[in-house]
Amino acid sequence: MEFRHLGRSGLKISEITYGNWITHGGQVEADAATACVRAALDAGITTFDTADVYAEGRAETVLGQALAGERRSGIEIFSKVYWPTGPGVNDRGLSRKHIMESIDGSLQRLGTDYLDLYQAHRYDYETPLEETMLAFADVVRSGKALYIGVSEWRAEEIRAGKALADELGVPLVSNQPQYSALHRVIEAEVIPTSRELGISQIVFSPIAQGILTGKYLPGQPAPEGSRATDEKGGGANFIARWANDDDVLTRVQELKPIAEDLGLSMAALAVAWVLSEENVAAAIIGASRPEQVVDNVKAAGVTLDADVKARIDEVLAPVAATDPALTVSPAKRP
């Protein structure tokens, strides 16, 4: 396993990070989830990402149980706050009330005294940014989190948040966006801004929710048991735009010989492609089986030559999303 600094901080994290967005507490049972976490630890992964909203809090609980007994200073645990966690009008967003209540809930479910990184899961257009950043600063000063980050914020939002964090003397070190060879919307604005400000990307969906594994074939139904057929876990709606596009699926199949030439699976190739961006500190992988973890971590330390990247880009460029306006869902903007 290779390790990278998170932003301009002294914190190092494993460049392959294990996340449990759809799987833990939803798609797979606790025993299988624990087996995946053990496989991650055995592979050298030290960094684990979750959120209070995943599987209505069960994902944090399962992850905490799976990590129980690990030396706390030897692992990094990340979580997030923003999405609704209850029926009340204040059980959502980035108000001081919700942040202060949510950090305590996350710590309890995870069975830990602190988070290494606490992230704003989206930008809250209904709460003053000053209120949000002051609450995060107080979370850090209380020792409940060591660093703060954001997720799917636009470039101008990251800049404003970093300015306030600097004034408050707290380390805002990361952004967690969706990023893959098929979804490249952060390249035009978010990455240059983050690089300037000393902020790293911790990216999710590096294999485009399984599309870049090549298991989805044009003109054929999605494989049984795949994420595209999992209504319970929420994966089906997320990847529908790719799984139902035969042009995308056909082009993905053209990546097979590239992966074979490198001795990698297509999934590992996709993760290696993401890690070739120097502003990316880590790629978050998910798994429903331990062998998926073992395969994905083969991307660690892989260097893709410029000609290999050019070949991949040539194949996928016509179908890749690049518009920076797609950074977040239009429904979530003012």
User: 226 CB contacts (<8 Å, ≥6 apart)?
Assistant: 210, 215, 216
Task: Determine the angle formed by the axes of helices 96-110 and 129-141, rounding to 10 degrees.
Answer: 40
Q: Which of 40, 53, 31 is nearest to 282 (CA)?
A: 40
Of 54, 118, 123, 147, catalytic = 54
Q: Which of 83, 100, 101 is nearest to 92 (CA)?
A: 83
Is 54 assigned a catalytic role? yes
Sign of CA dihedral 323, 9, 158, 76: positive
Sign of CA dihedral 121, 175, 41, 46: negative
CB 109 within 8 A of CB 69: no
Residue identified by tokens 């990070």 is: 17
Residue identified by tokens 């690049």 is: 322
* Pair type for strands 76-81 and 115-120: parallel
Paired strand residues for 321: 183
Paired strand residues for 175: 150, 201
Q: How many CB atoms lie within 10 A of CB 58?
A: 16
Paired strand residues for 145: 115
Q: Is 45 exposed, middle or buried (0-12, 13-18, 19+ CB in 10 A)?
A: buried
Determine the Cα–Cα distance for residues 148 and 175; give it in Å rounded to an integer: 9
Longest Cα separation, the chain: 55
Identity (one letter) of the amino acid at 241?
R
Residues annotated as part of the active site: 54
